[in-house]
Amino acid sequence: MAVNKEAYQRIATYCSRAGATLVAVSKTKPIEDILALYELGHRDFGENYVQELVSKQSQLPADIRWHFIGHLQTNKVKYIAPFVHLIHGIDSLKLLQEVNKQAAKCDRSIDVLLQVHIAQEDTKFGLDEQELQALLSFPQLPAMQHVQIRGLMAMASFTNDEEQLKAEFAAAKQIFDRITYNSVLVKSPHLLSMGMSNDYELAIAAGSNVVRVGSLLFGARHYPQ
Ligand SMILES: *Cc1c(COP(=O)(O)O)cnc(C)c1O
């Protein structure tokens, strides 16, 4: 088993002192690895793929808080709506409407984060500030009773350049501050999800209060060919 319990204790302590939620990103990793952290008391786990998440959820304890951190397709929302704790990557009005609709069917309210684009690479998903404002100004939004927008999710560039990472995280924090201040539709407690294995300390220093850490806890991922 590849779970690094020492790294877990260290990172969990770091996050808890900083007031940040540690989401253990378990994509591609087996049930036993998730249970190993569960037994240490961990409850927040993140997955990127709907099918994998649904399968794991059905085999694991019901008190796990499942975070969906991948790119969610509209036609798959229905599979995770019954149980998902937080959807991190909402990047369109259409997707938000579908989450609202599926949550209503389950008689739930689902917490979501809007994905903001900060990376210099243009491969990463997300909305720029103007698009965020446009989404938050949509006239039907206040009537969506089954979604709660809690804040933003951001992914920095894939780089070791600390200055660049700091600049990108700072940009995300500024946008986060503006939208949480300006929009009554962003409900507290406000969440800013940014930071991964490579950069979670920098992200927390910049104001992140949710970090998504995978490989430091579970080891490198191996994708099937
Ligand atoms: C896989 C993934 C992570 C975790 O990445 P690590 O570098 O392994 O910590 C975090 N966030 C998102 C959106 C991911 O897809």
Whether residue 198 has its Cβ less than 6 Å from ligand 1: yes
Say whether pLDDT at 138 is over 60. yes
The mean pLDDT of 14-31, rounded to a whole number, is 97
Span 70-121, pLDDT tens digits: 999 999 999 999 999 999 999 999 999 999 999 999 999 999 999 999 887 7
State if residue 212 touches ligand 1 by the CB under 6 angstroms criterion: yes
Q: What is the 3-state secondary structure (H, E, C) of 192-217?
A: EECCCCCCHHHHHHCCCCEEEECHHH
Reported as a single tens digit per residue, the pLDDT across 33-60 is: 999 999 999 999 999 999 999 999 999 9
Measured CA to CA, the distance from residue 130 to residue 42 in angstroms comes to: 37
pTM of the model: 0.96
Phi, psi of 216, rounded to the nearest 5 degrees: -65, -30
Q: How far is the CA of 157 from the centre of ligand 1 (A)?
A: 12
So where are the chain's domains? 5-214
Atom of ligand 1 nearest to the CA of 198: 7
- Name the nearest CA neighbour of 155 among 190, 121, 179, 181: 121
- How many whole angstroms separate alpha carbon 55 and alpha carbon 207? 33
Q: What is the mean pLDDT of residues 16-39?
A: 97
Architecture of domain 5-214: Alpha-Beta Barrel (3.20)
- Token readout for 131 is 């698009």
Residue 225 has pLDDT above 80, yes or no: no
User: Alpha helices, DSSP H only, in 19-149?
Assistant: 31-39, 50-59, 77-80, 93-105, 129-136
Quote the ligand 1 centre to 159 CA distance (angstroms).
14
Helix, strand, or coil (residue 87): strand
Q: Say which DSSP state 60 is in.
A: S
> Measuring from atom 13 of ligand 1, which residue has the nearest CA?
69
Mutate which of 44, 212, 213, 223 for ligand 1? The one with the most ligand atoms within 8 Å of its CB, which is 212
Across the chain, mean pLDDT equals 95
Share of the chain above pLDDT 70, in %: 97
Task: State which of 169, 196, 221 you would mutate to test the pocket of ligand 1, scoring each by most atoms of that ligand within 8 A of its C-beta.
Answer: 196
